[in-house]
Amino acid sequence: MGQTHPQMSQTHHMSSADSAVDVSIMDGSEKKFDLSLTDKVIAATGPNAHPRLAQVMPSLVRHLHDFAREVNLTVDEWTTAIELINECGRMSNDRRNETQLLCDILGLETLVDEITANIVSSASVSGTSTPSAILGPFYRHDAPLLPNGSSIVKDLTPAVPWYDQAVADSAYITGRVLSHNPLFPDMPPTPLRNAIVDVWHTAPNGLYEQQDPSQPDMNLRGRFATDAQGRYAFYALRPVAYPIPDDGPAGKFLALLDRHPHRPGHIHFIVSATGHRTLTTQIFDDRDEYIEKDSVFAVKDDLVVHFEPRERDPQAKWSLNYDFVLEAAMMGL
Ligand code: BEZ
Ligand code: FE
């Protein structure tokens, strides 16, 4: 970041008579902050402000100003941070969302996902429905609707550079989509017919198809509708660890923090059914060395899965059975 690295300050708020002045002791010398600045910024919000903004901005301004005072943020450092954010904007387009990536490496998308789940869901609190995980920037709408039992691996031939790994990691993934009704918490979940399981993951080279011109359109993506017993089934690959895009400002920031960019191997899902809260989540392969060190902090214990060796199936060397439990949506909630 900037040139100067002043020590963190210790702040002492003065008595109420001097409440507009904050004294910060650095290296034995006293620095004074005009605390009324924070109050003035908060008070500048007008009576017709957007209600949610009027609610949240006082807290944001206080945290922002307290942070700047606490770390003795200098103009150089602030300018560097502004440039980082500007660079994120310049780099973002409909194929890449660098600002979201910056939030991800700071754990903000995971935190906001958790907050949202706490607000909309009662059952996840008691651990009965499947936990959510972040969407990430690589979802595509309109993946093909495929018959159960078919494969999301497209055009795999020995000419594909990662053919051998794809064969070694070929997997048959099955499970059910179940309904949990929070009004009857002790009732076992019941199967959901016609739920949609929307799935996507990277190729063994760690790239999603839209990042990799050598992959067919919509490779390793598909949607499956559950049968009358709530079952889905498809062929895919065991997922591999991959680095989040680190050739931009988010990557530069990771390097400055001495952090790696890797995500543990995972498969993304959006599971939806009429009358139920849509679940956005990921499952994580327990073989992965990054399982405890996800660069975007999305791993949750209940989402870690174990693939079993699969016998007598020329299409798959591994199998996984995983049930998704959706929460019935309460009217008016
Ligand atoms: C992903 O899993 O696709 C992802 C999530 C956050 C940042 C980058 C990628
Ligand atoms: Fe991903």
- Distance, in Å, from the CA atom of 245 to the CA atom of 242, rounded to the nearest integer, reads 9
Cβ contact 27:93 at 8 Å: no
- Each residue of 230-242: pLDDT tens digit? 999 999 999 999 9
Show the tokens assigned to 22.
């904050």
- Percent pLDDT > 90 in the chain is 80
The DSSP element (H or E) to which 83 belongs, if any, is helix 75-91
User: Does the CB atom of residue 254 touch ligand 1 within 6 A?
Assistant: no
CB 210 within 8 A of CB 95: yes
Is ligand 1 within 6 A of the CB of residue 199? Answer: no
Give the atom of ligand 1 at the shortest distance from the alpha carbon of 202. Answer: 3
For residues 134 and 296, the answer to whether their CB atoms sit within 8 Å is yes
* pLDDT tens digits in sequence order for the chain, 333 residues long: 444 454 555 544 444 444 556 655 555 556 688 999 999 999 999 999 999 999 999 999 999 999 999 999 999 999 999 999 999 999 998 778 999 999 999 999 999 999 998 887 764 445 689 999 999 989 999 999 999 999 999 999 999 999 999 999 999 999 999 999 888 888 999 999 999 999 999 999 999 999 999 999 999 999 999 999 999 999 999 999 999 999 999 999 999 999 999 999 999 999 999 999 999 999 999 999 999 999 999 999 999 999 999 999 999 999 999 999 999 997 644
Token reading at 151: 């494969």
| Substitution site in 296, 300, 303 for ligand 1 pocket (most atoms within 8 Å of beta carbon) | 296
| Atom 4 (ligand 1) nearest CA | 136
**Complete edge-to-edge strand list for the sheet that includes strand 29-34:** 10-13, 21-26, 29-34
CA 110 / ligand 2 centre spacing (Å): 13
With the most atoms of ligand 1 within 8 angstroms of its CB, the residue from 263, 269, 303 to mutate is: 263
Give the tens place of pLDDT for each residue, 74-106: 999 999 999 999 999 999 987 789 999 999 999
Give 258's Cβ-side CA count (13 Å radius): 0
**Ligand 1 proximity of 283 Cβ (cutoff 6 Å):** no
d(CA 331, CA 312): 47
The label of the residue with tokens 């959510």 reads 132
